[in-house]
Chain A
């Protein structure tokens, strides 16, 4: 199924669009105010994401603060990705997956992939992160607990984890950069995806100059914590 990745986007505003093959990684700086759309073209097995303050990468996505400050492990429209400095890296301004976000499960690695798929030349999330980060003069120390898109992992009453299939062909996630963001994605199967077959599928990435947030923007005004997070963030740019 072919999906138009730029649905609803004025073509004149698009600054970059690219299809990232299954198994590959992709990285780019997204300017404050621009939006990154990621499209799960065929309904794949997940996309792993890390992000940093592009102007000072010692500031990075903090999974624990993101879930703790927003009182929930599932993200969605109106939620934000907090950095470890009390600021906002990305706002989630749109998504069609029904909340397919995993903030706990982390990244696949070579040993786990061999165990799951057998011997083979599998691309895994951790190796992709290391290679992508190396090209920005970052390394192993900079790999933080990551966010997984197009995948959902629920927590049962006893604390156990359950993988929930959610994403369909054409699902999208829109992330608006609230500072200059260095984003790294690994288009590799979610580490808990139940399929014993390695079947990553392509995703589309589109970057466009999205409209500036309005005064009632739900990401900025949704709760007192959001308001304070943006107050901290905007202070970087005054």
Chain B
């Protein structure tokens, strides 16, 4: 199932390649021009994703601007991830799934207590992962904004009904993101196990970063 994970990538250009265990946080600067591939190794795993301008953290992903400027609540190939300052942080240059969510946000201990029962407050949650990762960069709760959920299926009907339903990603599904500026990417490999977003079973993901080919010396 991992055989396709590096499909289409020149292995000489890979600068990072790691497997991130289920439930874990991750962060890394993807330099302008580099491409990050997220591979859903087990299928149906939600990958909660935040991105900041690595040179100015006050510029960060804006879900409403991204939704509005694209005129669509789903992300797929060609979608740009807009910042709160109107910049483009990353562009989705490849996607084997077809749609990703940017309206459902992240699970937290507190929202788990409301959604699933007060006793669920002590389960691990994406916001805990985000806070742990952000603390390494001197950021905290004020720096959390609504995030992207790669591989997560959150349809909204015309009457406004919103549901988190079974994922549509399969083992080996990928999404490729090209950094349009130096981008600090923060990921929570979602631990949620109370609803279908992870098929009730969080699984690992693979993260691959590769660099663009150097400019043609003849040009």
List residues of chain A with CB under 8 Å of any chain B CB.
58, 62-65, 67-69, 71-74, 82, 84-87, 99, 104-107, 109, 111-112, 140-146, 154-161, 191-192, 225, 228-229, 231-232
Contacts and interface: CB of A to CB of B under 8 A. Distances in A.
B65 A106 contact: yes
Contact of B62 (A62, A84, A106, A191): A106
B86 A109 contact: yes
Given A58-B142, A84-B108, A111-B86, A192 B68 contact: yes
Nearest to B69: A112
Contacts of B7: none
Given A111-B86, A145-B64, A155 B158 contact: yes
A8 to B, nearest CB: 27
Given A58-B141, A62-B105, A69-B115, A155 B157 contact: yes
A101 to B, nearest CB: 9
A105 B102 CA distance: 12
**When A and B form their complex, which 4 residue pairs have the shortest distance between CB atoms, in order from nearest?**
A64-B105, A106-B64, A86-B110, A74-B160
B123 interface: no
A71 B115 CA distance: 11
B72 A105 contact: no
Given A63-B64, A228-B117, 10 more contacts: A67-B104, A72-B161, A72-B162, A86-B121, A104-B73, A106-B64, A106-B65, A143-B84, A154-B160, A159-B73
B71 A64 contact: no
B160 A228 contact: no
Of the candidates A141, A154, A191, A228, the one having the most CB atoms from chain B within 10 angstroms of its own CB is: A141
A42 to B, nearest CB: 25
18 contacts: A63-B64, A64-B147, A68-B115, A69-B114, A71-B161, A71-B163, A84-B110, A84-B144, A86-B112, A86-B114, A104-B73, A141-B143, A142-B142, A155-B156, A161-B67, A161-B73, A191-B68, A228-B117
B64 A64 contact: no
Interface string B40-63: 000000000000000000100011
B105 A63 contact: yes
A72 B160 contact: yes
Contacts of B144: 84
- Indicate the size class of the contact surface on chain B: 35 or more
Contacts of A68: 104-105, 111, 115, 162, 164
A104 B103 contact: yes
B118 interface: yes
Given A104-B64, A192-B68, A225-B114, A71 B84 contact: no
Of the candidates A86, A87, A156, the one having the most CB atoms from chain B within 10 angstroms of its own CB is: A86
A73 B63 CA distance: 14
A141 B138 CA distance: 13
A106 B83 CA distance: 12
B194 interface: no
A63 B146 contact: yes
B113 interface: yes
Contacts of B112: 86
A151 to B, nearest CB: 12
A159 B99 contact: yes
A72 B162 CA distance: 5
A74 B160 CA distance: 6
Interface string B101-143: 0011110111111110110010000010000000000000111
